[in-house]
Amino acid sequence: MGGFLLRKAGAALIVVFCSSVLVFVGVRALPGDPAVALSGENRDPAVLAAVRAKYDLDKPLPQQYVTWIWHALHGDLGLDSRELPVAHTIITRIPITLELALLAVLLGSVIGISAGVIAAVRRGKPSDHTATTFSLVGLSLPHFWLGLMLIIVFAVDLRWLPASGYVSFGAHPIKNLEHMVMPAVVLGTGLSAVLMRQTRSAMLTSLGADYVRTARAKGLSEWSVVAKHALRNSLITVTTVIGLQLGALISGAVITETIFVIPGFGRLTIEAIDQRDYTLLQGVVLVAATGYVLVNLLVDVVYSFLNPRIRVAGGGP
């Protein structure tokens, strides 16, 4: 298993390196002179020269990249256009998005996995059709629109929940949850639809497998067969799906945080673009890409622990 994990870690490292080059080149490809943007649209040649020297913009690109990545490895992503450290801004925004994502994954998994199990166990029955239809609806629903509809119903009409804004959990746990309910539902429905489908098909495969037949033949209760044998093996597939959904979750956070005006990591991405803040944008995208790769590496680790074929044989899939 060590070899498998080492290979996966090596691949992740290569991907992070390529992504960082892509981010760096991409930000350099943005139209306009970064020095002008960083100097607050001041076009005085002396000021521009000073800005270029300060941000290393007068150095050749490879040298700029090495300096940037060297500092990034030490936790320094540079200063944004307001002279604030980018790394600090990102660190203060990430917990907000993490809370949102965690609530969404929790909601999505509970609904998606249980609906998938029920649909598979009661295959062809009305509950299966209902669950399958709901997942199809969940996949076709534009989630940001669902957000607008929730605002109309629960904030404008019923006045039960706040339409926008954010209160930290530490400051006021109840208010925090009130602000987070609708965004979490918006972000969680898409995930639950995907998870329901994957769980259903994984469960159908497991329920038809020999070890389930053996478990039944041993006289185990149906509950034990479904929960202990079939579901446990299906969860291996489902874990991988959750990891792969992280990209969709980050994209979803961008739009959800925009609609509900939540000052998280997603909103920061849009702000960086709107303000043409190159250092900030570079940092945000690098963190997003690295985060995605790391989570998927973690998923591979979990997967290798859950899957006895990898755990015992030491071979990769």
Partner 1 sequence: MSFVDTTAAALSPRARRRRILRRRLLRRPLALVGLVVATAFILGAILAPWIAPYSAGATDFNAILAHSSSKHLLGTDELGRDVFSRILWGARASIEAGVLATLLAMAFAVPIGIVAGYYRGWVDAVIARLTDVLLAFPFLILAVGLAAILGPSLTNATIALGVGAAPALIRIARGEALALREEDYVRAAIANGAGDVRILTRHVLPNMLSTLIVQATVAIPTAIIGEAVLSFLGLGVQPPTPSWGVMLSDAQSYLSQAPRLAVYPGIAIFLCSLSFNLLGDGLRDILDPRTTR
Binding stretches for partner 1 (CB under 8 A): 11, 14-16, 18-19, 22, 26, 29-31, 136-137, 139-142, 144-145, 148-149, 151-152, 156, 163, 247-248, 250-252, 254-255, 258-259, 269-270, 273, 276, 281, 284-285, 288-290, 292-293
Minimum CB distance to partner 1, residue 249 (Å): 8
Minimum CB distance to partner 1, residue 27 (Å): 8
Residue closer to partner 1, measured from CB, 38 or 289:
289
Residue closer to partner 1, measured from CB, 39 or 269:
269
- How many angstroms separate the CA atoms of 91 and 23, rounded? 19
- How many angstroms separate the CA atoms of 309 and 315, rounded? 8
Helix, strand, or coil here: 83? Answer: coil
Minimum CB distance to partner 1, residue 87 (Å): 18
Cβ-based neighbours of 153, under 8 Å, separated by 6 or more: none
Cβ-based neighbours of 56, under 8 Å, separated by 6 or more: 63, 64, 67, 68
Residue closer to partner 1, measured from CB, 91 or 270:
270
- How many angstroms separate the CA atoms of 314 and 317, rounded? 10
Residue closer to partner 1, measured from CB, 226 or 281:
281
Q: What is residue 246's DSSP assignment?
A: H
Residue closer to partner 1, measured from CB, 231 or 250:
250
Question: In the numeric block, which tokens belong to residue 3?
Answer: 């070899």
C-alpha distances (whole Å) from 123 to each of 117, 127, 212 are 10, 8, 16
Residue closer to partner 1, measured from CB, 176 or 201:
201
Minimum CB distance to partner 1, residue 166 (Å): 18
Residue closer to partner 1, measured from CB, 141 or 177:
141
Question: In the numeric block, which tokens belong to residue 44?
Answer: 């005085």
Q: 């490292």: which residue's tokens? A: 13
Residue 54, amino acid: K
Minimum CB distance to partner 1, residue 224 (Å): 33
Cβ-based neighbours of 93, under 8 Å, separated by 6 or more: 263, 264, 265, 267, 268
Minimum CB distance to partner 1, residue 192 (Å): 16
- CA max distance for the chain: 85
Residue closer to partner 1, measured from CB, 106 or 152:
152
Minimum CB distance to partner 1, residue 50 (Å): 26
Q: 């000021």: which residue's tokens? A: 47
- How many angstroms separate the CA atoms of 140 and 266, rounded? 22
Q: Are 268 and 256 a contacting pair, CB within 8 Å?
A: no
Residue 171 buriedness (CB in 10 A; 0-12 / 13-18 / 19+): exposed
Minimum CB distance to partner 1, residue 244 (Å): 8
